[in-house]
Amino acid sequence: MPTPYAYFRGEIVPLSEAKIGIMTHAFNYGTAVFEGIRGNWNADEHTIYLFRMREHFERLARSCKILMLDLHESIDRLCEIAVEIVERSGYEEDVYLRPMVYKSSEAVGVRLHDLESQTLMFITPFGPYLDIEKGARCHTSTWRRVDDTGIPPRAKVTGIYVNSALAKTEAQLNGFDEAIMLNADGHVSEGSGENIFIVRDGMLHTPTPADNILEGITAQTVVQLAKEELGIPTIQRVIDRTELYIADEIFMTGTAAHVTPVIEVDRRPVGDGKPGPITRKLMALYFDVIRGKHPKYKHWCTPARVRVAQG
Ligand code: PMP
Protein backbone atom coordinates (compact mmCIF):
# COMPACT_ATOMS: atom_id res chain seq x y z
CA MET A 1 0.00 0.00 0.00
CA PRO A 2 1.37 3.45 -0.84
CA THR A 3 2.00 5.68 2.20
CA PRO A 4 2.42 9.39 1.55
CA TYR A 5 5.57 11.01 2.94
CA ALA A 6 6.32 14.69 3.45
CA TYR A 7 9.34 16.91 4.05
CA PHE A 8 8.72 18.89 7.21
CA ARG A 9 11.11 20.77 9.53
CA GLY A 10 14.17 19.33 7.77
CA GLU A 11 13.12 15.68 7.77
CA ILE A 12 11.17 13.24 5.65
CA VAL A 13 8.26 11.98 7.76
CA PRO A 14 4.91 10.26 7.14
CA LEU A 15 2.48 12.92 5.87
CA SER A 16 0.19 12.23 8.84
CA GLU A 17 2.91 13.54 11.19
CA ALA A 18 3.46 16.87 9.38
CA LYS A 19 1.30 19.42 11.22
CA ILE A 20 1.56 23.19 11.72
CA GLY A 21 0.29 25.24 14.66
CA ILE A 22 -2.76 27.46 14.32
CA MET A 23 -0.71 30.61 15.03
CA THR A 24 1.59 30.00 12.05
CA HIS A 25 2.01 33.32 10.22
CA ALA A 26 1.45 31.83 6.74
CA PHE A 27 -1.83 30.23 7.83
CA ASN A 28 -3.09 33.55 9.20
CA TYR A 29 -1.89 35.90 6.46
CA GLY A 30 -1.27 33.84 3.30
CA THR A 31 2.48 34.54 3.52
CA ALA A 32 3.78 31.47 1.71
CA VAL A 33 4.86 30.60 -1.80
CA PHE A 34 4.46 27.22 -3.41
CA GLU A 35 4.85 25.07 -6.49
CA GLY A 36 3.02 22.21 -8.10
CA ILE A 37 5.14 19.55 -9.76
CA ARG A 38 3.69 16.60 -11.58
CA GLY A 39 5.09 13.11 -11.37
CA ASN A 40 3.87 11.23 -14.44
CA TRP A 41 3.54 7.46 -14.22
CA ASN A 42 5.20 5.45 -16.99
CA ALA A 43 3.86 1.90 -16.54
CA ASP A 44 6.27 0.32 -19.08
CA GLU A 45 9.27 1.57 -17.14
CA HIS A 46 7.62 1.28 -13.72
CA THR A 47 8.83 4.82 -13.10
CA ILE A 48 7.37 8.16 -12.13
CA TYR A 49 8.90 11.00 -14.15
CA LEU A 50 9.02 14.35 -12.38
CA PHE A 51 8.51 16.95 -15.07
CA ARG A 52 10.82 19.98 -15.18
CA MET A 53 11.32 19.75 -11.44
CA ARG A 54 14.40 21.99 -11.40
CA GLU A 55 12.57 24.80 -13.23
CA HIS A 56 9.78 24.61 -10.63
CA PHE A 57 12.28 24.91 -7.77
CA GLU A 58 13.98 27.80 -9.56
CA ARG A 59 10.62 29.58 -9.79
CA LEU A 60 10.05 28.79 -6.10
CA ALA A 61 13.35 30.52 -5.30
CA ARG A 62 12.26 33.59 -7.31
CA SER A 63 8.90 33.65 -5.50
CA CYS A 64 10.81 33.53 -2.18
CA LYS A 65 12.78 36.60 -3.18
CA ILE A 66 9.62 38.59 -3.83
CA LEU A 67 8.07 37.56 -0.49
CA MET A 68 11.31 37.89 1.53
CA LEU A 69 11.28 34.22 2.45
CA ASP A 70 14.56 32.47 3.29
CA LEU A 71 14.95 29.29 1.29
CA HIS A 72 17.29 27.18 3.42
CA GLU A 73 17.69 24.29 0.94
CA SER A 74 19.68 24.44 -2.31
CA ILE A 75 17.90 23.64 -5.58
CA ASP A 76 19.90 20.38 -5.76
CA ARG A 77 18.78 19.41 -2.25
CA LEU A 78 15.13 20.18 -3.09
CA CYS A 79 15.41 17.91 -6.14
CA GLU A 80 16.82 15.09 -3.97
CA ILE A 81 14.03 15.51 -1.40
CA ALA A 82 11.37 15.40 -4.13
CA VAL A 83 12.72 12.15 -5.60
CA GLU A 84 13.00 10.59 -2.15
CA ILE A 85 9.39 11.47 -1.25
CA VAL A 86 8.11 9.94 -4.49
CA GLU A 87 10.22 6.80 -4.11
CA ARG A 88 9.34 6.26 -0.45
CA SER A 89 5.61 6.92 -0.92
CA GLY A 90 5.26 4.08 -3.41
CA TYR A 91 2.48 5.37 -5.68
CA GLU A 92 2.10 3.66 -9.03
CA GLU A 93 0.02 6.39 -10.66
CA ASP A 94 0.26 10.09 -11.53
CA VAL A 95 1.20 12.17 -8.50
CA TYR A 96 1.54 15.82 -7.60
CA LEU A 97 4.24 17.28 -5.39
CA ARG A 98 3.55 20.45 -3.46
CA PRO A 99 6.67 22.24 -2.21
CA MET A 100 6.02 25.33 -0.10
CA VAL A 101 8.16 27.93 1.68
CA TYR A 102 6.22 29.65 4.41
CA LYS A 103 6.53 32.19 7.20
CA SER A 104 6.64 29.69 10.01
CA SER A 105 6.88 32.02 13.04
CA GLU A 106 3.94 31.76 15.39
CA ALA A 107 3.56 35.52 15.56
CA VAL A 108 0.63 37.91 15.21
CA GLY A 109 1.30 40.98 13.05
CA VAL A 110 1.10 41.65 9.33
CA ARG A 111 4.54 42.01 7.77
CA LEU A 112 7.16 40.11 5.81
CA HIS A 113 10.31 41.02 7.77
CA ASP A 114 11.66 39.55 11.02
CA LEU A 115 9.93 36.21 10.61
CA GLU A 116 11.32 32.67 10.34
CA SER A 117 10.80 30.66 7.15
CA GLN A 118 10.52 26.91 6.67
CA THR A 119 10.22 24.63 3.66
CA LEU A 120 7.77 21.75 3.36
CA MET A 121 6.85 19.34 0.61
CA PHE A 122 4.06 16.80 0.33
CA ILE A 123 2.73 14.34 -2.23
CA THR A 124 -0.75 13.39 -3.34
CA PRO A 125 -2.10 11.13 -6.13
CA PHE A 126 -3.37 13.37 -8.92
CA GLY A 127 -5.30 12.44 -12.04
CA PRO A 128 -6.60 14.81 -14.73
CA TYR A 129 -7.69 18.28 -13.55
CA LEU A 130 -9.87 19.34 -16.48
CA ASP A 131 -11.50 17.13 -19.14
CA ILE A 132 -8.62 16.93 -21.59
CA GLU A 133 -10.47 14.83 -24.19
CA LYS A 134 -13.69 16.80 -24.34
CA GLY A 135 -12.17 20.22 -23.70
CA ALA A 136 -13.23 22.98 -21.33
CA ARG A 137 -16.21 25.31 -21.51
CA CYS A 138 -15.07 28.68 -20.19
CA HIS A 139 -16.47 32.06 -19.38
CA THR A 140 -14.95 35.47 -18.81
CA SER A 141 -14.82 35.98 -15.08
CA THR A 142 -16.30 39.03 -13.40
CA TRP A 143 -13.26 38.77 -11.10
CA ARG A 144 -10.23 40.62 -12.47
CA ARG A 145 -6.74 39.12 -12.17
CA VAL A 146 -4.85 40.74 -9.28
CA ASP A 147 -2.25 43.25 -10.37
CA ASP A 148 1.51 43.31 -9.86
CA THR A 149 0.84 46.49 -7.86
CA GLY A 150 -1.44 44.50 -5.48
CA ILE A 151 -0.27 40.93 -4.98
CA PRO A 152 2.31 40.07 -7.66
CA PRO A 153 1.01 37.10 -9.72
CA ARG A 154 4.57 36.42 -10.92
CA ALA A 155 5.18 34.97 -7.46
CA LYS A 156 3.17 31.84 -6.69
CA VAL A 157 1.83 33.17 -3.37
CA THR A 158 -0.71 31.06 -1.49
CA GLY A 159 -2.83 34.11 -0.60
CA ILE A 160 -3.21 35.05 -4.27
CA TYR A 161 -5.25 31.90 -4.84
CA VAL A 162 -8.24 33.58 -3.20
CA ASN A 163 -8.46 35.50 -6.49
CA SER A 164 -8.32 32.21 -8.42
CA ALA A 165 -10.81 30.49 -6.11
CA LEU A 166 -13.36 33.30 -6.51
CA ALA A 167 -13.07 33.02 -10.28
CA LYS A 168 -13.13 29.20 -10.39
CA THR A 169 -16.18 28.91 -8.15
CA GLU A 170 -18.07 31.59 -10.06
CA ALA A 171 -17.36 29.70 -13.31
CA GLN A 172 -18.38 26.30 -11.95
CA LEU A 173 -21.51 27.51 -10.16
CA ASN A 174 -22.56 29.14 -13.44
CA GLY A 175 -22.15 25.82 -15.24
CA PHE A 176 -18.72 26.34 -16.84
CA ASP A 177 -15.53 24.34 -16.33
CA GLU A 178 -13.04 27.15 -15.99
CA ALA A 179 -12.72 30.93 -15.73
CA ILE A 180 -10.75 33.25 -17.98
CA MET A 181 -9.68 36.31 -16.03
CA LEU A 182 -9.04 39.73 -17.53
CA ASN A 183 -6.42 42.01 -16.01
CA ALA A 184 -7.14 45.46 -14.58
CA ASP A 185 -6.85 46.93 -18.13
CA GLY A 186 -9.53 44.54 -19.41
CA HIS A 187 -7.14 42.40 -21.45
CA VAL A 188 -6.93 38.63 -21.32
CA SER A 189 -4.71 37.43 -18.49
CA GLU A 190 -5.09 33.73 -17.62
CA GLY A 191 -7.28 30.99 -16.16
CA SER A 192 -7.65 30.35 -12.44
CA GLY A 193 -4.66 28.01 -12.59
CA GLU A 194 -3.63 27.98 -16.25
CA ASN A 195 -2.03 30.12 -18.92
CA ILE A 196 -4.00 30.67 -22.10
CA PHE A 197 -3.11 30.48 -25.80
CA ILE A 198 -5.15 31.33 -28.86
CA VAL A 199 -4.47 30.13 -32.40
CA ARG A 200 -4.98 32.67 -35.19
CA ASP A 201 -3.73 32.23 -38.75
CA GLY A 202 -1.68 29.19 -37.79
CA MET A 203 0.30 31.00 -35.08
CA LEU A 204 0.10 30.87 -31.29
CA HIS A 205 -0.66 34.05 -29.37
CA THR A 206 -0.42 34.36 -25.60
CA PRO A 207 -0.51 37.26 -23.11
CA THR A 208 2.75 38.91 -22.01
CA PRO A 209 4.40 38.61 -18.55
CA ALA A 210 3.17 42.19 -17.91
CA ASP A 211 -0.48 41.04 -18.21
CA ASN A 212 -0.39 39.74 -14.61
CA ILE A 213 0.15 36.10 -15.44
CA LEU A 214 2.14 33.44 -13.66
CA GLU A 215 5.01 32.75 -16.04
CA GLY A 216 4.12 29.13 -16.65
CA ILE A 217 6.53 26.26 -17.13
CA THR A 218 3.99 24.30 -19.18
CA ALA A 219 3.48 27.38 -21.38
CA GLN A 220 7.24 27.63 -21.91
CA THR A 221 7.29 23.91 -22.78
CA VAL A 222 4.49 24.30 -25.32
CA VAL A 223 6.15 27.33 -26.93
CA GLN A 224 9.34 25.29 -27.40
CA LEU A 225 7.52 22.19 -28.70
CA ALA A 226 5.45 24.29 -31.12
CA LYS A 227 8.58 25.96 -32.49
CA GLU A 228 10.96 22.99 -32.61
CA GLU A 229 8.61 20.16 -33.53
CA LEU A 230 5.85 21.89 -35.52
CA GLY A 231 7.59 25.04 -36.79
CA ILE A 232 4.84 27.18 -35.24
CA PRO A 233 5.90 30.52 -33.72
CA THR A 234 4.37 32.07 -30.59
CA ILE A 235 3.69 35.78 -30.31
CA GLN A 236 3.43 37.25 -26.81
CA ARG A 237 1.18 40.26 -26.96
CA VAL A 238 -1.81 42.01 -25.42
CA ILE A 239 -4.99 40.07 -26.25
CA ASP A 240 -8.55 41.46 -26.23
CA ARG A 241 -11.50 39.53 -24.85
CA THR A 242 -13.26 39.50 -28.24
CA GLU A 243 -10.26 37.78 -29.83
CA LEU A 244 -11.32 34.77 -27.78
CA TYR A 245 -14.61 34.78 -29.73
CA ILE A 246 -12.95 34.68 -33.15
CA ALA A 247 -9.89 32.51 -32.43
CA ASP A 248 -9.49 29.38 -34.57
CA GLU A 249 -8.43 27.40 -31.49
CA ILE A 250 -7.85 28.07 -27.79
CA PHE A 251 -6.08 25.96 -25.20
CA MET A 252 -4.94 26.31 -21.62
CA THR A 253 -1.67 25.09 -20.14
CA GLY A 254 -0.66 24.29 -16.59
CA THR A 255 1.00 21.63 -14.49
CA ALA A 256 -2.42 20.44 -13.29
CA ALA A 257 -4.32 21.14 -16.53
CA HIS A 258 -1.58 19.83 -18.89
CA VAL A 259 -2.70 21.09 -22.32
CA THR A 260 -6.50 21.40 -22.22
CA PRO A 261 -8.49 22.49 -25.28
CA VAL A 262 -11.05 25.25 -24.75
CA ILE A 263 -14.14 24.49 -26.82
CA GLU A 264 -16.42 27.34 -25.77
CA VAL A 265 -16.03 30.88 -24.41
CA ASP A 266 -19.01 32.89 -23.16
CA ARG A 267 -21.41 30.50 -24.97
CA ARG A 268 -19.67 30.93 -28.32
CA PRO A 269 -18.06 27.80 -29.79
CA VAL A 270 -14.32 28.04 -30.40
CA GLY A 271 -13.79 27.13 -34.07
CA ASP A 272 -16.25 24.31 -34.72
CA GLY A 273 -16.62 23.60 -31.00
CA LYS A 274 -14.15 20.69 -30.97
CA PRO A 275 -10.46 20.57 -30.03
CA GLY A 276 -8.56 22.00 -33.02
CA PRO A 277 -5.77 20.34 -35.07
CA ILE A 278 -2.85 22.39 -33.69
CA THR A 279 -4.07 21.86 -30.13
CA ARG A 280 -4.35 18.11 -30.74
CA LYS A 281 -0.84 17.91 -32.21
CA LEU A 282 0.59 19.79 -29.25
CA MET A 283 -1.29 17.58 -26.79
CA ALA A 284 0.05 14.40 -28.41
CA LEU A 285 3.62 15.69 -28.28
CA TYR A 286 3.26 17.01 -24.73
CA PHE A 287 1.88 13.76 -23.29
CA ASP A 288 4.78 11.78 -24.78
CA VAL A 289 7.27 14.30 -23.47
CA ILE A 290 6.00 14.36 -19.86
CA ARG A 291 6.02 10.56 -19.53
CA GLY A 292 9.65 10.39 -20.67
CA LYS A 293 8.71 8.87 -24.05
CA HIS A 294 10.35 11.52 -26.25
CA PRO A 295 14.14 11.00 -26.29
CA LYS A 296 14.92 14.60 -27.27
CA TYR A 297 13.21 15.96 -24.16
CA LYS A 298 14.03 13.18 -21.70
CA HIS A 299 16.31 15.59 -19.81
CA TRP A 300 13.13 17.36 -18.61
CA CYS A 301 12.04 14.17 -16.84
CA THR A 302 13.65 13.08 -13.57
CA PRO A 303 13.01 9.39 -12.83
CA ALA A 304 11.78 8.29 -9.42
CA ARG A 305 11.91 4.51 -9.35
CA VAL A 306 9.02 3.21 -7.36
CA ARG A 307 10.35 0.55 -5.02
CA VAL A 308 8.79 -2.83 -5.69
CA ALA A 309 7.71 -4.49 -2.46
CA GLN A 310 9.91 -7.45 -1.52
CA GLY A 311 8.64 -10.99 -0.96
N1 PMP B 1 -1.34 30.48 -13.89
C2 PMP B 1 -1.69 30.18 -12.63
C3 PMP B 1 -2.48 31.17 -11.85
C4 PMP B 1 -1.34 28.95 -12.07
O5 PMP B 1 -1.71 28.64 -10.82
C6 PMP B 1 -0.62 28.01 -12.86
C7 PMP B 1 -0.27 26.67 -12.28
N8 PMP B 1 0.95 26.67 -11.60
C9 PMP B 1 -0.26 28.38 -14.16
C10 PMP B 1 -0.63 29.62 -14.65
C11 PMP B 1 0.53 27.46 -15.03
O12 PMP B 1 1.87 27.36 -14.58
P13 PMP B 1 2.70 26.03 -14.78
O14 PMP B 1 2.58 25.66 -16.20
O15 PMP B 1 4.09 26.43 -14.42
O16 PMP B 1 2.13 25.02 -13.87
Same domain, 92 and 181: no
Q: Ligand 1 in contact with 199 (CB < 6 A)?
A: no
Query: pLDDT tier at 48 (50, 70, 90 boundaries)?
Result: very high
Concerning whether 298 is annotated as a catalytic residue, the answer is no
Q: How many domains does the chain have?
A: 2
Same domain, 48 and 114: yes
Of 89, 109, 127, which closes a domain?
Answer: 127
Q: What is the pLDDT of residues 112-140, one digit of tens each?
A: 999 999 999 999 999 888 889 999 999 99
Of 127, 145, 178, which closes a domain?
Answer: 127
Domain of residue 97, CATH code:
3.30.470.10
Could you tell me where the beta strands, DSSP code E, fall in 5-132?
A: 5-8, 11-14, 32-34, 37-42, 47-51, 95-103, 117-125
Nearest CA to ligand 1 atom 10: 194
Instruction: Return d(Cα 251, Cα 295) in angstroms, integer.
Output: 25
Q: Please tell me the predicted confidence (pLDDT) of residue 72.
A: 98
Distance 211 CA to ligand 1 centre (A): 14
> 215 in helix, strand or coil?
coil
CA 156 to ligand 1: nearest atom: 5
- Has residue 19 been placed in a domain? yes
Q: What is the pLDDT of residues 69-82, one digit of tens each?
A: 999 999 999 999 99
Q: What is the pLDDT of residues 266-296, one digit of tens each?
A: 999 999 999 999 999 999 999 999 999 999 9
